[in-house]
Every structure is written in structure tokens, then in C-alpha cells.
Amino acid sequence: MTAATKVPFVDLGRQYASLRDEVLQTIDAVLKSGQYILGPELDAFEREAAEFCGVKHAIGVANGSDSLWLSMKCLGIGPGDEVITAPNSFIASAWATAAVGATPTFSDIDDTLNLDPAKLEQAITPRTKAIMPVHLTGRIANMEAIMEIAQRRKLHVIEDAAQAIGATRHGRKAGTFGVVGSFSLHPLKNLAAFGDGGLVSTNDDGIAQQLRLLRNHGLKTRDESVIWGYNSRLDSVQAAVLRIKLRHLAQWNKTNRNLAERYHQALAKHVKVPVSGAGEEQIYHRYVIQTDRRDALHAYLAARGIDSKINYPTPIHLQEVASQLGYRQGSFPVAEKLAGMILSLPLYPEFTLAEQDMVIAGITDFFSGRP
Ligand SMILES: Cc1ncc(COP(=O)(O)O)c(C=O)c1O
């Protein structure tokens, strides 16, 4: 955001302003309690988050990268194994596989920006242990088709639902299809901590128990450690604040959908808009349009003081860090083509209609050839 920015991409201060008194009182109470790590606020947040997500267990961890990584650990994925994910995600999706010593592999997407189930089986090898669909932008991947393949090929499914908390598909919430679901509670996510945070969802009692050990040095009691674990806990202050925000999340997601609908109506004649398919309820973590004039539009909006972003300009398989994996330009044609066409427009619950109208006017003027 620059001094000339008229429409910022996001303004986190607005949400804080709307909750400030309650947040400050809650933080004050936690600070006075002296219970800063684990404890009652985290227990309550985990219960409430599990209920919201429609699962038996939700386990708070330090961030959404750790929630993927610890889930992999729990499933025993390690050296010699492969995990298939989408090439057009944030780096953390593939990182988690590398972090357990396994090999990240990829399969191409379709124009929903999610894994294309029709291509998935070609990516399965004898070493494949799991599939990690990423519910990019807050839109759930085609989980019926992905689960059918995974069950037939006896593979785990780890949902990277970092961007999709509260999204549904045919009535089922993100994070309830696979053996585990992984969420990020990063400040830019739809349910956002005031810092880092993550969450794992599962219906499997054994996995939940194992995760609780793994995130806390394998400690069964204060003094007894049963496995080599890690320090990856969600702080009590964050948990307490997240409890407040969780009560608003369904409404915030609904507001996002209403704003998305306004964009759809105004923009569909100029660009491809992310309209939901039958049975899909997106949460629009990002509102991503597709146009082959993306770079010019991006620059035009910037010149008008309208902030837009590209999530993500370089697919993971073409990043330097992935150069050892043996992919090249052309490996995933759809992901590569869309990387040059996608543009994320500002959209968040506190975004005003007046601001949205400025974005719409900017895009309309661009396509009408107005300077
Ligand atoms: C798709 C995806 N996966 C994983 C992560 C990692 O989450 P975190 O930043 O909380 O570690 C993110 C967040 O940026 C994400 O968008």
C-alpha cells in the first residue's frame, strides 16, 4: 500500500476496531490468569472449532505450516514417500512434504484453481503415500472424485484447508473429507489470529491423540514424555481471541459471499469470475479473476490507487527450491497458463461497497478502453 492507495487490498485494522473492547478485555483476563500456554482457553477454542468444522477433534498448533507437517508426521510419511499436491499453492503446501524427508510431487489443476481429478491418477507412483488437495481461495476441491481415487489407490488424503475454514461442498465442511484437515490462522486468513496460529481437524481419535503429543514434546503428563515431539503450540492469548472471532466467522464468510456476488454481476462480461458450482459454498479467502490482459489490468488499477495481487505468480514446481524435483516449464500447462491470468481483487468482510464500486469502475473502464 502506498500513500496514493485509495483502495487497499486489505485493512486488518478495521476488524480489530470492530472487536476492540471485547478483545482487550479478553487479553487482559488471560494475562491476569497467568496461564499462557495450553490450558482452558485453548481447550475451549479447540472444542468450539471442532464443532464449527463438524469434526470430533480440532488441535491447535503454532501455524498452518506446522499443521501440515505434523499431520504428515502422524501418518508416518517420510523418506522414500511421495505426496501429490497442487503446483499453484503457497510454498508451505509442498514444504511440509519436504520437511518430513519425503518428496513433493504435483498434478495439474483445472480452471477452478484446484487439483483436476481427471489428471490425478497419472501422478500416482508406487511411492505415493498421500494426496494433498489445496482448497485454494476458499473453494473446496472436487473431493468426491479425489476421495474416490484415494480410497481405490489406498492413499491418505490431507486437506490443505489453510484458506477454506467454513467453506462447504454438498453440505460438508472443508477439513472433514480427508483423514486430516489443516488450517492456517495467519492474520490474513478468514479466521485470523493476531499473529501465527494453525489448526488440525480430524475424526480419528488416534491421530488426535498423537498430534497432541507431537505438538508438545511428546509429553503425556508434565514430566513424562512418550515420543520425540516438537514445540508447536497455539498460545492461550491467541486461542482466547480466536474464540471471539469464531463467533463471527459464519457471518464474515457470508458477507464475503455477498461481496463476491456483486463482483460476479459486474465483472462477468469482462473477465472469468469464480462463480460457485452446484453445491459449493465458497468463503472467498481470495476473489480471483482470470483474464489474458492481467498484467495491463493490474498496472491500470495500481495507477488508480487500487491494490490487487497475484496469488501466486510462480508455480511451486518452477521455484528455485523445487529445481531438484525434475519438473520444467510445460510440466503443468494449466497451472502455468493460469499463473499469467489470475488477479486477486480486494474482498474482505469490512470492505465497503463504495470501495468495491471503485474497483468495479476501474475494471469496467479498463475494458472499455478509457484512459
Ligand atoms: C494454502 C496454504 N497452505 C499453507 C499455508 C501455511 O500457513 P501458515 O502461514 O499459517 O504457516 C498457507 C498460508 O499462508 C496457505 O495459504
Distance CA 37, CA 226 (A): 20
DSSP letter assigned to residue 341:
T
Instruction: Report the atom number in ligand 1 closest to the C-alpha of 136.
Output: 1
Distance CA 240, CA 294 (A): 41
- Output the pLDDT for position 371: 83
Distance 292 CA to ligand 1 centre (A): 27
Instruction: Report the atom number in ligand 1 closest to the C-alpha of 163.
Output: 16
Distance 188 CA to ligand 1 centre (A): 10
Cα dihedral sign, 341-345-348-353: negative
The average pLDDT across 18-37 equals 98
Tell me the pLDDT band of 129, cut-offs 50, 70 and 90.
Answer: very high
Residue 254 identity (one-letter amino acid) = K
Share of the chain above pLDDT 70, in %: 99
Q: pTM for this structure?
A: 0.98
The pLDDT tens digits for 292-308 are 999 999 999 999 999 99
> In the predicted model, is pLDDT for residue 17 greater than 90?
yes
> In the predicted model, is pLDDT for residue 236 greater than 70?
yes
Distance 294 CA to ligand 1 centre (A): 25
Distance 88 CA to ligand 1 centre (A): 13
Would you say the CB of residue 85 lies under 6 angstroms from ligand 1? no
DSSP letter assigned to residue 165:
T
- Output the pLDDT for position 4: 86
Tell me the pLDDT band of 45, cut-offs 50, 70 and 90.
Answer: very high
Q: What number of CA atoms fall less than 13 Å from residue 10's CA on the CB side?
A: 17
> In the predicted model, is pLDDT for residue 62 greater than 80?
yes
> In the predicted model, is pLDDT for residue 91 greater than 80?
yes
The average pLDDT across 332-349 equals 98
Would you say the CB of residue 64 lies under 6 angstroms from ligand 1? yes
Would you say the CB of residue 160 lies under 6 angstroms from ligand 1? yes
Tell me the pLDDT band of 1, cut-offs 50, 70 and 90.
Answer: low
Share of the chain above pLDDT 90, in %: 98
Mutate to test the pocket of ligand 1, among 10, 61, 63, 65 (most ligand atoms within 8 A of CB): 65
DSSP letter assigned to residue 79:
T
The pLDDT tens digits for 257-272 are 999 999 999 999 999 9
Would you say the CB of residue 89 lies under 6 angstroms from ligand 1? yes
Would you say the CB of residue 90 lies under 6 angstroms from ligand 1? yes
Would you say the CB of residue 308 lies under 6 angstroms from ligand 1? no
Output the DSSP codes for 98-153: HHTT-EEEE--B-TTSSB-HHHHGGG--TTEEEEE-B-GGG----HHHHHHHHHHT
CATH architecture of the domain with residue range 249-367: Alpha-Beta Complex (3.90)
How many residues are there in the chain? 371
C-alpha cell at 25: 478485555
- Output the pLDDT for position 370: 87
Tell me the pLDDT band of 325, cut-offs 50, 70 and 90.
Answer: very high
- Residue ranges of the domains in the chain? 12-243, 249-367
CATH architecture of the domain with residue range 12-243: 3-Layer(aba) Sandwich (3.40)
> In the predicted model, is pLDDT for residue 323 greater than 90?
yes
Would you say the CB of residue 65 lies under 6 angstroms from ligand 1? yes
Distance CA 135, CA 282 (A): 10
DSSP, collapsed to helix, strand or coil, labels residue 183 as strand
H helical segments located in the chain: 12-33, 40-53, 64-74, 92-99, 117-120, 143-152, 205-214, 236-267, 294-303, 333-339, 353-367
DSSP, collapsed to helix, strand or coil, labels residue 62 as coil
Distance 90 CA to ligand 1 centre (A): 6
> In the predicted model, is pLDDT for residue 3 greater than 90?
no
Residue with CA nearest ligand 1 atom 12: 162
- Output the pLDDT for position 58: 98
Sequence-separated (6 or more) residues with CB below 8 Å from residue 100: 69, 72, 73, 77, 78
Would you say the CB of residue 163 lies under 6 angstroms from ligand 1? yes
> In the predicted model, is pLDDT for residue 2 greater than 90?
no
> In the predicted model, is pLDDT for residue 128 greater than 80?
yes
Would you say the CB of residue 63 lies under 6 angstroms from ligand 1? yes
Instruction: Report the atom number in ligand 1 closest to the C-alpha of 197.
Output: 10
The average pLDDT across 130-157 equals 98
Distance CA 366, CA 271 (A): 11
Give me the chain's average pLDDT, please: 97
Distance 65 CA to ligand 1 centre (A): 6
Torsion of CA 249, 255, 258, 259, to 10 degrees: -120
